[in-house]
Amino acid sequence: MYFLYPAFLFALLSLAIPVVIHLFNFRKYKKVYFSNVQFLKEVQEQQASRRNLKERLILASRLLALLFLILAFARPYIPGAQNANAGKQQVISVFVDNSYSMETLNREGSLLDEAKRRAKEITSAYNINDRFQLLTQDFEGKHQRLLSRDEFNDAVDAVKVSSQSRSLQQVISRQENLLQNQPGAAKSVFIISDFQKNRNDKPVKADSNIAVNLVQLKAGNLPNVAVDSIWLLGAVHRPGESEKLVVRLHNYATEKAEKIPLKILINGEQKALGSFSINARHVQNDTLSFSGLKPGWQSGEIQLQDNPVTFDNQFYFSFNVKEQMPVLLIDGGAPNPYLKAVFASDAFFAASRVTDGNVDYAALNSYPIVIISDIKTIATGLAQQLRTYVTKGGTLVVFPSADADLANYKSFLLALNAGYPEKLITQDVKVASINKQSAVFKNVFESFPQNPDLPSVKKYYQLSKSGSKQESLMNLATGEAFWEGYSSGKGNVYMCAVPLSEDFSNLPRHALFVPILFRMALLSGHDQPLFYTFGADENFEVPPVQTTEKQLLKLTKGNQSVIPDVRQQEGSTLLYVSDQLNEPGIYSLRKQDSTLATLALNDNRAESDMSYFTAADLEKILPNAKPLLTAGSGSLKSVVAESNFGTQLWKLCIILALIFLLAEILLIRFYKPDQQGVIQAG
């Protein structure tokens, strides 16, 4: 047996006080004279022996009561696993999982309410001088300090549900960062969570000097269907045209979900309605169509009816419907009449033409598609800016010059992972085939003839085969490429083997020329993403925005307004909001009174899977952690105390002290040896 506060054992010297009082009980006796004491002698002897027995019993009761009272203050215990920490100041970090899944109900109410109660029970098992850290999914700065027990309880009461979702490794690393700055103290970590399976199930690295305790709150496996993601099939959105939205639905339950209602709202107006059935643990894509959109930013919301889990029943998105699509034409000095005629035929396209020496690099990213033609040598600066433009998602179409500098083109196109012109070949040949599976030709032809009229070629540049991720659009009868597409970064490069000149081919006047360029332009939309996700996207990228000290950018939603950290980079502006935003929905990016963009933010769907780790799973993930702490419907206080300090005996000592005090009172009140002696004498 050990003692938490052995210094109190010095109080055992006070046991001498009752003994001294007993030995030196100078009680004065009153003399009574009798004429004959013959009959009193035996009575007096019996009274003295009984009185001595009573006094000895009372003395023993007093000594034992005082002994156990002193032992109670010394806090005796039978040592447990953490005996080395006894007597030291304790520093305890408690993580309370406040993610969306903790809104689930059980017999105790919501899991979050139970987690708060368990956190308070844990701290009550420690001493008043110990210090505590409260950590939640939000990883707030105010939680990176140590609190007293009362401060900790107040902080726990203020915890609310959060949209954040951290992995176990992130949580433990965050807790260790604070605890490692407390030398000399005994350190412990508690994690109170439902331990969903969606979180990282890889083994967690934890400091072996810090005791890790897991408290799992139990909730039933609830059925849940959620919208995981969406995308629009059209890259460019035109006023009044039909839009097709693909919705990715995920059934996280072990049973089939029948007839889940789903509707799409655009700017608060219902645009589409559907009903879907999804097999258990299955993911499926469904397409909904809507139309009648006006120019401007569109605020979209997908709603589904799915109970009892409702936090993921809304999904927000936004996109821009443009009245016109800007197209940039770059040439070597003489405008190409064929390109000008193509984009003048449709008022939706707003073509701007510049020479290769007068390109506004700052505005380059505002063009979804850039077409270069008739440039003999591409300048280094232009080549660098075009590489950045394509990497960020732009579409570049290249028509070489009739007198192109092949070495210059090779250097430029190699940097874009695209094929380059190797040599000029003079030979009459026809285009033999087109790739109808390519996105450029997909859904272009209602029917395709067996012997189509395809472009004829008089001379062409032989394209290298060094380009990666290439897609052949049109091939010559010789088997060589006539027009190819390449993926580069987030964008695309389309390289043609001929200049736009009738000396090389009849492509500029061919019937396929206009629809091909239109399709490339319509596929080139590189607007901002339809949505962003809390915890997954650290910044928001928007087209370049110039600001001053008096012209700050703001993200607004209703009465909420946030000033993001703005950082400029080549071709775009990055917005950092840290943890300032925590509510999903549609936010407007404003500069003074003008709206520059609309951003949609959604919760992380990692919380949607309502299945949980078992004790065996957690043992594999955290092999050095203690066994799961469970208290059923009781309190964790005694469980934690026994786990950390062993079996506590101070309560037993208090009980024994009270028992012996009661025994003393009973002896004094009811044990009457004098009366017994008198009766016997009579």
211 pLDDT band (50/70/90 cuts)?
confident
Name the DSSP letter for residue 322: -
The top-scoring range by mean pLDDT among 44-48, 506-510, 569-573, 657-661 is 506-510
Q: What is the CATH number of the domain that holds 183?
A: 3.40.50.410
Q: Is the pLDDT of residue 578 over 70?
A: yes
Does residue 27 lie within any of the structural domains?
Answer: yes
Q: Given 490, 522, 554, which residue is the final one in a domain?
A: 522
Higher pLDDT pick, 59 / 381? 381
CB-side exposure of 87: number of CA atoms within 13 Å? 12
Same domain, 369 and 511: yes
Query: Is 40 in contact with 31 (CB distance < 8 Å)?
Result: no
Q: For residue 194, what are the contacts with CB-CB under 8 A and spacing of at least 6?
A: 97, 101, 102, 104, 111, 216, 217, 218, 219, 612
Does residue 147 lie within any of the structural domains?
Answer: yes
Same domain, 162 and 113: yes
Residue-wise pLDDT tens digits, 341-394: 999 988 899 999 999 999 999 888 889 999 999 999 999 999 999 999 998 888
32 pLDDT band (50/70/90 cuts)?
low
Q: For residue 633, what are the contacts with CB-CB under 8 A and spacing of at least 6?
A: 107, 108
Confidence at residue 316, expressed as pLDDT on a 0 to 100 scale = 96
Q: Is the pLDDT of residue 43 over 60?
A: no
CB-side exposure of 375: number of CA atoms within 13 Å? 22
Residue-wise pLDDT tens digits, 435-494: 888 888 876 766 677 788 899 999 999 999 866 678 889 999 999 999 999 998 888 999
Number of neighbours of residue 139 by Cβ within 10 angstroms: 15
Same domain, 405 and 426: yes
Q: Is the pLDDT of residue 26 over 60?
A: no
Which residues sit opposite 597 in a β-bridge? 589
Rounded to an integer, what distance in angstroms lies between the CA atom of residue 105 and that of residue 252? 18
Beta strands (DSSP E) in 525-627 are 532-533, 540-542, 553-557, 560-562, 565-569, 572-576, 585-591, 594-602
Confidence at residue 46, expressed as pLDDT on a 0 to 100 scale = 54
Same domain, 375 and 517: yes
- What are 663's two structure tokens? 């025994």
Q: Is the pLDDT of residue 680 over 70?
A: no
Q: Is the pLDDT of residue 541 over 90?
A: no
Same domain, 366 and 494: yes
Higher pLDDT pick, 646 / 356? 356
Amino acid, single-letter form, for residue 606: A
Strands 572-576 and 325-331 turn out to be: unpaired
Give the mean model confidence (pLDDT) for residues 132-136: 94
Counting every residue written for the chain, the total comes to 682
Query: Is 96 in contact with 143 (CB distance < 8 Å)?
Result: no
Same domain, 26 and 157: no
Same domain, 596 and 665: no
The top-scoring range by mean pLDDT among 220-224, 418-422, 527-531 is 418-422
Confidence at residue 678, expressed as pLDDT on a 0 to 100 scale = 46
106 pLDDT band (50/70/90 cuts)?
confident
DSSP string, 58-86: HHHHHHHHHHHHHHHHH-EEE--TTGGGT
Give the mean model confidence (pLDDT) for residues 493-500: 95
Question: Of 15-24, 75-84, 201-210, 317-326, which gets the smallest average pLDDT?
Answer: 75-84
Higher pLDDT pick, 474 / 610? 474
Question: Of 4-8, 148-152, 397-401, which gets the smallest average pLDDT?
Answer: 4-8
Angle between helix 637-645 and helix 111-124 axes, rounded to 10 deg: 50
Does residue 350 lie within any of the structural domains?
Answer: yes
- What are 626's two structure tokens? 């203690």
* CA distances, 474 to each of 425, 437, 593 (Å): 17, 11, 49
Confidence at residue 20, expressed as pLDDT on a 0 to 100 scale = 81
Give the mean model confidence (pLDDT) for residues 393-419: 93
Give the mean model confidence (pLDDT) for residues 54-64: 84
Does residue 269 lie within any of the structural domains?
Answer: yes
Q: Given 522, 542, 571, which residue is the final one in a domain?
A: 522
Name the DSSP letter for residue 94: E
Residue-wise pLDDT tens digits, 158-209: 999 988 888 888 899 999 998 888 887 888 899 999 888 876 667 888 888 8
Confidence at residue 420, expressed as pLDDT on a 0 to 100 scale = 93
Confidence at residue 682, expressed as pLDDT on a 0 to 100 scale = 42
Q: Is the pLDDT of residue 677 over 50?
A: no
40 pLDDT band (50/70/90 cuts)?
low
Same domain, 517 and 443: yes
Spatial strand order in the sheet of 553-557 = 532-533, 594-602, 585-591, 553-557, 560-562
Confidence at residue 198, expressed as pLDDT on a 0 to 100 scale = 72
Give the mean model confidence (pLDDT) for residues 240-255: 90
Containing structural domain, residue 485: 325-522
State the average pLDDT for the chain: 85
pLDDT > 70: percent of the chain: 89
Same domain, 486 and 346: yes
Same domain, 329 and 292: no
Residue-wise pLDDT tens digits, 287-308: 999 998 999 999 999 999 888 8
Rounded to an integer, what distance in angstroms lies between the CA atom of residue 186 and that of residue 678? 66
Q: What is the CATH number of the domain that holds 338?
A: 3.40.50.880
Does residue 209 lie within any of the structural domains?
Answer: yes
Question: Of 104-108, 264-268, 308-312, which gets the smallest average pLDDT?
Answer: 104-108
Q: Is the pLDDT of residue 672 over 80?
A: no
Give CA 594 to chain center in angstroms. 32
Give the mean model confidence (pLDDT) for residues 420-429: 93
Q: Is the pLDDT of residue 276 over 50?
A: yes
* CA distances, 672 to each of 659, 664, 677 (Å): 21, 13, 9
Does residue 427 lie within any of the structural domains?
Answer: yes
Does residue 229 lie within any of the structural domains?
Answer: no
Does residue 230 lie within any of the structural domains?
Answer: no
Q: For residue 642, what are the contacts with CB-CB under 8 A and spacing of at least 6?
A: 80, 648
Q: What is the CATH number of the domain that holds 571?
A: 2.60.40
CB-side exposure of 523: number of CA atoms within 13 Å? 22
Same domain, 653 and 639: no
Q: What's the structural domain count of the chain? A: 5
Confidence at residue 371, expressed as pLDDT on a 0 to 100 scale = 96
Confidence at residue 98, expressed as pLDDT on a 0 to 100 scale = 92
- What are 464's two structure tokens? 């290298």
Rounded to an integer, what distance in angstroms lies between the CA atom of residue 30 and that of residue 568? 106
- What are 128's two structure tokens? 């008043």
Q: Name the helix (H) or strand (E) containing 647.
A: strand 647-648
Tell me the helix, strand and coil percentages in the chain, rounded to 5.
30, 30, 40
Q: Given 276, 300, 321, which residue is the final one in a domain?
A: 321
Query: Is 97 in contact with 137 (CB distance < 8 Å)?
Result: yes
Residue-wise pLDDT tens digits, 583-597: 899 999 998 888 889
Confidence at residue 42, expressed as pLDDT on a 0 to 100 scale = 54
Query: Is 2 in contact with 79 (CB distance < 8 Å)?
Result: yes
DSSP string, 471-536: EEEEEETTS-EEEEEEEETTEEEEEESS-S-TTTBSGGGSTTHHHHHHHHHHT------S-EETTT
Same domain, 464 and 554: no
Confidence at residue 498, expressed as pLDDT on a 0 to 100 scale = 95
